[in-house]
Amino acid sequence: MKKRNTTSKTKDKPVTKKPGKKRPADKKTITKKRGKVLVVEDNSQWSNRLKAALEENGFYVIIKKTRAEALETLGKENFHFATVDLQLDESTLDDKKFEGWDVMKKVFDVGADRLMPILVLTGFPGDEENDNRVKALREYKATFFMEKSKFDQEKFINTVIKAVESRSLRFKDDHTA
């Protein structure tokens, strides 16, 4: 039987351990609760991937697949971090009309950008004429930008952990310990 690597969590980043003794079935790993993350992503493979990685590292995750769902949720709840895809409707092919811009505008309009860092994770970084990275960071006050084609899960998790810990915010029912 082949042994798999297991992942344990530290304060700053996930660490991979070599296979070793198995823990007794009655003992559970206790992960520090790190906060609440909003994932705005229409692709279920990506949203499930992000959710699994975040939950493994102690985050409570809420996924919204559409602009309308995300806007409604942002009007009702506070989050420690958000990751937003720009294109939330596959029929929208014009970078300027991507639904993710509206989600980030809502965050900016309600002043939550001071409290909640935003990471844009998109398959559409733009081109020389329409650079979505610059637009997201300058105009919409996103804190981070990642391309899906260059996605690095460890970098993603470390970015979220550091951003949330640097804010040290507490909300009612925020899922932190």
Domain range annotation of the chain: 31-167
Which residue, 79, 73, 106, is CA-closest to 173? 79
Query: In this prediction, what percent of the chain has a pLDDT beyond 70?
Result: 69
pTM: 0.73
H-type helices in the chain, by residue range?
Answer: 44-56, 67-76, 99-109, 132-134, 153-167
Residue 13 pLDDT greater than 80, yes or no: no
Contact 124, 149 (CB under 8 A): no
**Given this structure, which CATH class describes domain 31-167?**
alpha beta
**Residue carrying structure tokens 């906060």:** 35
- The two tokens of residue 161 are 């952990």
Residue-wise pLDDT tens digits, 128-150: 666 878 877 877 777 889 999 99
Residue-wise pLDDT tens digits, 58-108: 899 999 999 999 989 988 888 889 999 988 887 777 667 788 888 888 887
CA-CA distance, 43 to 45, in Å (whole number)?
Answer: 6
